[in-house]
Every structure is written in C-alpha cells, then in structure tokens.
Amino acid sequence: MPVSQLVTRPWPTLNGFSASATRASTDRRRFHAATLLHEKVNSPSRSLQQGPVDDASRKALSEIAFAFDIDGVLYQGQRAIPGAKEMLRKIRSHDIRYVFLTNGGGSHEDAKYKSLSKRLGLSEDEDVIRNRVILSHTPMRGWDENVKKQGTVLITGSHPEIARRVANEYGFARAVTPADIIEANDKVYPFDNLRESLHKESRPLPDGKIVSNTIDPYSKDVPANALKIDQILVWNDPRDWSLDIQVIHDLLISHRGYLGTISDKNGNALLPNNGWQQDGQPQLWISNLDLLWKTEYPVNRFGTGAFVEALKGVWAASTGGAELQFSALGKPSQHTYEYAHDRLLHHAPEEPHGKGQKKRALKRVYMIGDNPESDIRGANEFAPADGTEWISILVKTGVWKETAAEREPRYKPTVIVDDVVEAIAWAMRNEGVDVTREWLASEDWV
C-alpha cells in the first residue's frame, strides 16, 4: 500500500511520493523521486524541538519500527557515527520499537550487545541495546524444539567451541564440532597442524557414538553406535576450510547422515539432482552468505559466503556438476526478515530474547543499512503476510560508495541518506512527525 495512504496525517509533500516509498520502488524513476523527496523535506509540519511528542505523533510512532544494521551504520570503521548514541536514546525514550539486525555471528547475542554498547559509548545498564540484537544465527533459537532436542547437529564457524556453547544455550542438545570428530577418529583427517590451536577443545561424541572406519561405506547395515548428523550448521566464517569442507562433503555424500558411509543414490541420473543429497543426508544451513566484509585493511576480506563458494566448487568438481542444496539465514534471506518482523510485532526488550506474548500490529518498518545486496535487497523483497510495509534506507557510511561506474546501487533503496541519524529523521518525517537531525543528535531527552 502506498505510503501516502498510510501516513497518519497525509502531508502535502508526500502526495507525489506514493510510489517511491513503497517496497516496489526498484525502478530508476521512482528512485530519483525518493531522492528528490529527501531533498524537499525541510518544512516542518509539527515540531518536536520544543517539547514532548504530542498524542498524534505518539500514535504515529507507535505504529512503526526500525531495524538497524550495525557495521557501517552505527559506526564507520572504529568510529561511532556522531549522534547515533543520542538518537538511539531518543527513540528508546519515545517507546519506538527497534532491533539490531546484523549478519555478524559466532558469538552470543549478549556478547554483541556488550561490545556494541561499549563501541557506542553507552553503559551496559542502559536499556538501549540489550535483548534487541539479532545475529545471523539467532533465528535458530526459534527452531522446533524436537529438532533441537532429538537431533544431532554438526556445528562449525570461526570458533566452533564458542558456537557450540551458544547452540547449547539455544536448546540444541547434541552439537558436535569438527574437533570432536577428529578427536574421535584421527583417520578422518590425517593432518595435525591445527590440533593444538583451533581444534584443541573437543568433547566426546554424544550418547557414546563413534566414528568407525571399519564400516563398508556402501553397507546400509550401519552399527547402532555410528554417529549420525541431522543438520549441518555453518555458524559464521570457518577458519579451517580444509577440514570443514572435508567433513561437510563426507556428510552430504553419506547414507542418511551416517559419517563414513556413502549413499548408493549418488549419481543416479533417474533421481532429482542426479541422486545427490537425495538419501536423507543432513540439511546444510549457512548463517549468512556475505562474500566480503570490511576490516581496517584497505581491501575487503572474505566472509562466510566465500567459504560457501569454495564448498560449491569442490561439490561441483566431485559430483560432476551437481547443485549444492542448502538453506541460508542472514540478510537478505527471508527467514531472517520473518524472524525480525515477528520480534518487532511481539517486542518486549525486557524479556531475555526480546519477545513477549503480546502482539502489536505495525504499519511500517524502516530497515537502515549500508549494504544494498543484503540490507536493502532483503527489505525490498520482504512482504510479510500481515501487510506491513518494509521500507529500505541506504546510508553512505558503509560499504556502498557512489562511484563514476556505479551511481546507483543494484538493489535500490527507497531513499539514500548521509547517515543513520538522517535516516531516522527522514523516517519520522515520512510519518508526519517533523524532527531535525539536531534534535535527534542532541542530549535532550524530550
């Protein structure tokens, strides 16, 4: 539904804007209209600078929410965006719903909230960030309890042992790391260069299971104590690609996820995907597909998506070109937007995971991000069943830069603004609540 039909008080300058602020705003003309709007929006319709928000504004703000990306949005490199801290305090004090939606992962949400508070200069006991952080793997918290309690998962990532502990806290009762597997049977991987570092911490396999190397790999008469993996979870960017690709490949060619077996369906041209991944093998879940990420180094670094490309390459080579079947979380995956939307509808940051029983409808959610391929694309493509509109705002403080070759990003946002403070000002004005950047970035609490 066009924005102009939804704003609490239709605003004259929005009349020509209905197309540009909708989710479908992907063509060139609309994009320019949106950018133009941003430049026009200067005349106040209602001022918040002089005091508390009035009732009409309060109602308008109670029907919207914000989803903030973190890296490149709340800070640029190591430097917090000026005014971001004050802006967050301000929207918190006005009871506006918001979450932080990041493709980062590999740690617990509370660890991320603490580090983000510190980087923004907020104290930990300020109720601004806690229970609002959604990491790439956080949606797994909401997985079916039977899957978490009954099944066995293989988990890997930058720090598999930390990932396991977080997965245990999510409710996954049996989480196995690559280190557990090579500790259980060193024939799986005949190299020991990382045994004293990355793979140093291991635990016995659950329920007394073993990794046997005496099984005929094609036999379906699998011993009762053979390790069976039901899901593979790549939590974030793995460090030992060699071992991880080996073990994941072993499982994807196995009979029903029993390590050390080989499915007799592999390569059967009469079956879908030539029989590959057609024999009850574990599902492969990747927590995000970001190919690159930005560090202090001048050239972008490889992320989890690069690992997936390497795995796809090996898979294609070993299967004669079969498709690697997997599911992805993280932006732009719709699983992640569904999860974030549900959290915002049941917003309860006083609860441990930010979700309460009570549901409050939303009219619009504004996604503020720096990455067109993930933040913007995901928000543009997301169409929740309840009809809420997700609007994408691109900031210039992160990975996207306007260059002579790329004047506009491939995935076009509703609007491009300088930074996150400007993004919130734009969104609030779009709701008919006029605010200035100065007010949002000021220390005043009203």
Instruction: Indicate the residue among 398 and 409 with the shorter CB distance to Mg ion.
Output: 398
142-181 footprint of Mg ion as x/- string (CB under 5 A): ----------------------------------------
| CA pair distance 145, 158, nearest whole angstrom | 26
- Minimal distance, residue 72 CB to Mg ion, in Å: 4
The dihedral of CA 209, 215, 218, 221: what is its sign? negative
Instruction: Indicate the residue among 71 and 434 with the shorter CB distance to Mg ion.
Output: 71
> Where does 69-220 show beta strands of DSSP type E?
75-76, 79-80, 97-101, 133-134, 152-156, 174-176
- Minimal distance, residue 275 CB to Mg ion, in Å: 40
- Minimal distance, residue 397 CB to Mg ion, in Å: 9
Cβ-proximal residues to 19 (8 Å cutoff; 6+ apart), any chain: 2, 25, 30, 33
| CA pair distance 311, 31, nearest whole angstrom | 37
Instruction: Indicate the residue among 72 and 238 with the shorter CB distance to Mg ion.
Output: 72
Which element (helix H / strand E) includes 257? none
Instruction: Indicate the residue among 197 and 297 with the shorter CB distance to Mg ion.
Output: 297
Q: Name the 3-class secondary structure at 241.
A: helix
| CA pair distance 232, 445, nearest whole angstrom | 47
- Minimal distance, residue 307 CB to Mg ion, in Å: 19
- Minimal distance, residue 295 CB to Mg ion, in Å: 13
Pick from 369, 442, 417: nearest CA to 74: 369
- Minimal distance, residue 73 CB to Mg ion, in Å: 6
Instruction: Indicate the residue among 104 and 384 with the shorter CB distance to Mg ion.
Output: 104
In our burial notation (b when 16+ CB lie closer than 10 A, e otherwise), range 420-441 reads bbbbbbbbbbbbbbbbbbebbb
By CB under 5 A, residue 183 contacts Mg ion: no
Q: Report how many residues bind Mg ion under the rule CB under 5 A.
A: 6
Instruction: Indicate the residue among 76 and 436 with the shorter CB distance to Mg ion.
Output: 76
Tokens of 357: 């029983």
Q: How far is CA 201 from CA 75, 135, 284, in A?
A: 34, 24, 24
- Minimal distance, residue 91 CB to Mg ion, in Å: 19
Q: Tell me how many degrees the CA angle 241-245-246 measures, rounded to the nearest 5.
A: 120
Tokens of 396: 């210039």
Instruction: Indicate the residue among 101 and 198 with the shorter CB distance to Mg ion.
Output: 101
Q: Cβ distance 290 to 330 under 8 Å?
A: yes
Q: Can the peptide bond before residue 178 be classed as cis, meaning omega within 30 degrees of 0? A: no
For Mg ion, the binding residues in 377-416 under the rule CB under 5 A are 398
357-376 footprint of Mg ion as x/- string (CB under 5 A): -------------xx-----
- Minimal distance, residue 371 CB to Mg ion, in Å: 5
- Minimal distance, residue 332 CB to Mg ion, in Å: 12
For Mg ion, the binding residues in 340-359 under the rule CB under 5 A are none
For Mg ion, the binding residues in 63-102 under the rule CB under 5 A are 69, 71-72
Instruction: Indicate the residue among 72 and 282 with the shorter CB distance to Mg ion.
Output: 72
Instruction: Indicate the residue among 76 and 168 with the shorter CB distance to Mg ion.
Output: 76
Instruction: Indicate the residue among 226 and 292 with the shorter CB distance to Mg ion.
Output: 292
Bridge-partner residues for 368, per DSSP? 68, 393
- Name residue, tokens 């300088």: 418
- Minimal distance, residue 143 CB to Mg ion, in Å: 25
Binding site for Mg ion (CB under 5 A): 69, 71-72, 370-371, 398
